[in-house]
Amino acid sequence: KGQIVEKKPTHDLFTNPEHPYTRTLLEAAPLLDKQR
């Protein structure tokens, strides 16, 4: 079963992830290029 490893407001989660698993997930997400 899964478990919650980090819970905080969205902005805080994306700008300051504290748990190693959260950091890994965010680093794996593709970045959207807004400059076209």
Give pLDDT tens digits for 11-20.
999 999 999 9
**Average predicted confidence (pLDDT) for the chain:** 92
- pLDDT of residue 5 exceeding 90, the answer is yes
Determine the pLDDT at residue 33.
78
* Band of residue 3 on the pLDDT scale cut at 50, 70, 90: very high
Q: Does 1 map to a domain? A: yes
> Which string of DSSP letters, residue by residue, matches 1-36?
---------HHHHHHS--SHHHHHHHHHSPPP----
* Band of residue 36 on the pLDDT scale cut at 50, 70, 90: low
Structure-token pair, residue 2: 């899964």
Q: Are the beta carbons of 8 and 17 closer than 8 angstroms?
A: no
Q: Based on the structure, what is the number of domains in the chain?
A: 1
Q: Does 18 map to a domain? A: yes
Q: Does 2 map to a domain? A: yes
Q: Does 6 map to a domain? A: yes
